[in-house]
Structure 1
């Protein structure tokens, strides 16, 4: 069996990735395909943690939330991430994977509270740990939560799983001349405002010397190729 480059990873999975081509919500086929990709890397002996966003759920109530207090809207978004985490856990159960959901907000009827030592033990036991509710604080994105949890879990890399196969010089949907970066420094990503992650998350990854790879979760085998250290997506590092 080939040896993976990374033994412990944290996947930042956007809520929008779970929609597929739907306008909002969770696409069953898409989530099953994502779980299959994760299962392939687990078979390599890789320990996997996941931070999931909530944009796909919150998008459905966005019109009603217009003008809402920012902190209240952020707490609603955190609840949306917990919903996604539970859906992801259930999909993993159907696929024969063992997963645990830990929430930064206390919702003990549906998810464990976030406890770092417990999460580390789950990873060592080969279980997938899914972190919901972001950091538990308003005004912080799930990107920042991913950088924070990756540091706490001593992950070797943050993998941002999106619909786009890397970071481009411009929006490839509107600019046919846009080219993909193979590698970037964190300082370049911040100074060029490339929208890789928010500036707080990028700064935290940079300070912790935590590499970040942006790739498309919709390309078959892309996650496995990233874990094996092959040329896939855009690698952002110090």
Structure 2
């Protein structure tokens, strides 16, 4: 979402020049893995995370893991993602649930999702790649197969695999009315990746109603990557004052 004023392969250097040590992105699949890896190496940034194949994003596809008729597509996509992750030296993969198909109950979709996620967690473990699931709010992505924290907790418990973790996005949690810091602290042992954006608007921290003083204080005991997954209100670089504030710097 950041640096969209640049072409994709030029964003790595732009991020490095602004002080980012790592990058994440939705999809590397439109480019050769070698080209993406070279862009990251040349910029000196770590590829921290990307998503499993989502399909045709422009046509509304958002992954396949919860769809009963798409098990083979999902699992083939994980094989593709593993090859990309190894080329990029990326150790985390977000498993996209996909939209629940018409005529499929929420219970059936969750059962399929749980089965696919368990398979992927084991497959990815064999390659040293952490599997992640993320609840995405039902306002921004209606019909998506994983929108609530309660459902994510059920899936994590049902799968019970040490290589499966929660991707905790403070924006999505705020949009769903969840208690942000309380849930983050409660679920800390299960959290493998964090993303931030303010709410409403999904812009920089400090532009909405989320108490980022409390969020950054909680992040002080986290120790992992924090992805800035927001839409800049203006230019990307001009909006990075939050990242240079004393409270955020104390979390590093």
TM-score, normalised to structure 2's length? 0.33
The structure showing larger relative contact order (alpha-carbon pairs under 8 Å, at least 6 residues apart) is 1
Name the structure where strand makes up a greater proportion of residues: 1
Name the structure where helix makes up a greater proportion of residues: 2
